[in-house]
Amino acid sequence: MSHKKQNTALESITNRPGRRSRAESTRRWLLCSSYPHAVFANIGIMILRAIGEEDLDVHAQGIKAQEKMFDMLDFIRYVDIERISDKLTITVKRLILERGTTTIEDSRESHEHMVTLNIDLDPQMRIENSDTLVEYLIEQFYQVAAPGRGKQDPWYRQTWIAETKRLRGPETSRDFRDLTVRSQREKIAVENVRAALTESLSRENFHIALSTSNICCLDQSLRMRPETVPTTRRR
């Protein structure tokens, strides 16, 4: 038995000289399935443009300074956009990585706060011109949720799944992963995904979250994903 194992290991080494270790394969997968660092600045500038902010250069300098603080082990797994009246926040969360980690599982416990951008708004103002932002959010999500499929199987040709959820407990949750009781599940076209995001962005109070497996309009108790995308991510 021992001899057979040694032969198997030897064959693995000699027959696959260009092989990747498990750690290298996991790291490569993380790079493909995480949001790019630029997503933080891009969403911020798109929202500032959509609300008619004139002093974009000053805002861009501050955002760029925050972006420069990101490092090579910052794998963004969660993007959160929330507005409460005159306050809008954009928050990204990264994967917690420890020395010796060999498997990856996305969960609330495996994410930590990375950086936040705060934007002051006129409480009467609504984000109406959001087409560019909506397209960007869907595209970025799809590249993360279905890495490598973009050219052959683009997001705008997908059938999507929409799940409407009831909230756990008496209070409104501020985290889409607390929406655990299923009330309705249906197939929708991508036009419905666009419409849902546009609807949320136009409200005085909204909460949009992008994970690696769902787009969630928390203010509508709704989360959406392409039919072919798994609901959990583990490596």
183-233 pLDDT, tens digit each: 688 999 999 999 999 999 999 999 999 999 999 999 999 999 998 876 655
Mean pLDDT of the chain: 85
Length of the chain measured in residues: 235
| SS3 state at 124 | coil
90-140 pLDDT, tens digit each: 999 999 887 767 677 778 788 999 999 999 999 999 998 899 999 999 999
Percent of the chain predicted with pLDDT > 90: 54
Q: State CA 36 to chain mean position distance.
A: 10
Beta carbons of 142 and 152 less than 8 angstroms apart: no
Which pLDDT does position 128 carry in this prediction?
Answer: 84
Mean pLDDT for 152-172 is 73
12-69 pLDDT, tens digit each: 788 888 878 878 888 888 888 999 999 999 999 999 999 988 889 999 999 999 999 9
46 forms beta bridges with none
Extract the tokens encoding 79.
């993007």
- Closest to 141 in 3D by CA, of 180, 189, 193: 193
Which pLDDT does position 116 carry in this prediction?
Answer: 96
DSSP string, 162-197: EEEEEPSSSSPPSSGGG--EEEEEEEE-HHHHHHHH
Extract the tokens encoding 13.
């080494």
Mean pLDDT for 149-169 is 75
